[in-house]
Structure 1
């Protein structure tokens, strides 16, 4: 199917996403699986985290979903027959059968409509099924974004960002809890967690992850220069002030 999700550099993302692996490890511990469940990986990316999920499901199965074509291709290549990999925007997700649990790591802040998102995830779960997730929350990379905004406001970049606020949705714990309950979830627990990150490949990490939407708006001849200017403005060593929004909820 055709996706409205912007595509990504899946191979570079797979290589530089070490912080995402640390976030996923903590999340998987919270999921507390028996090992025989069917679990939805909502926003599987290149499949690197999905492998960790599969290790905890020796008798179960994974349905891995992502909206970006290159991510889906990379996940299918990596996972082979071990998981069913589907291309779909999460706000349009429809599964053939409901699952025991839904898992999502570092994805929901890329989705504008959290009410629609949580409604689709609620529909994807069996009664009693759990949603365990984390994503960027209120205050996520705030200091870094202020610096990148100052660079984006300068010539020759400013014309490409005029009136643009970006695709991010960094919700608060309170807003998220209300939306989850509105979607029909119970036993809702949400909280913010500061988590500073020093990426091992700063320039590639910024280009592929934090500044991906910026780079996509710029002409090819300005992209490398913009990333270098943002990195220089941030100073070194680069420390990103991540804030994770944690979500635990259950379908009645």
Structure 2
């Protein structure tokens, strides 16, 4: 019972956080580890548990998704499915030790990319290595990351969109939630088929994440742009620090 008193609020808040800024897995993953789930299985279960929250978030931002250019959206979705499948398969062959080592570095890189996205984009424009909007390589690499470790996926996606030149955070959040839904769907199927999901905990957390995900959309629209950016950067920085402390402790 104590475990579920931790898991349910974590999933609800994760649903809200994923819709607003990303990083909800920073709450569900540690909660599952606290409940005694091994790291790789905890990551897979965390991905499953926040998946319904992306449904609520995508529905809450359907207006922004409908306004996105359809051919570009289809291309991005296909690339997301390919990268997500590759990342999910990589997790299945990873040990708990290897997983624990690589995660903090990925989180820190994602947080820095979002925090300094405008400067990075300016550098990209001035260099010969330009970053194209809806580019194939960037989207596949980010999707591999999301399939391997769902934590910070929203931050990584927002960083990528920033590098693409997107500036409207409502549109960015809508696309982020839609792609997170697609990526998590392929990961859920892969992890379920592999039998590494702790289903009793996952099912309870899924219900809480749905409510949180839908509740987060109007909150995201109401918050000022700088507040949303601050939430993304703060969550990424704090969780990066926590994972580094755990790594070297």
TM-score for the superposition, normalised by structure 1: 0.27
The structure carrying a bigger helix percent of its residues is: 2
The structure having more radius of gyration, on CA atoms, is 1
Bigger relative contact order (CA 8 A; separation at least 6)? 2
TM-score for the superposition, normalised by structure 2: 0.27
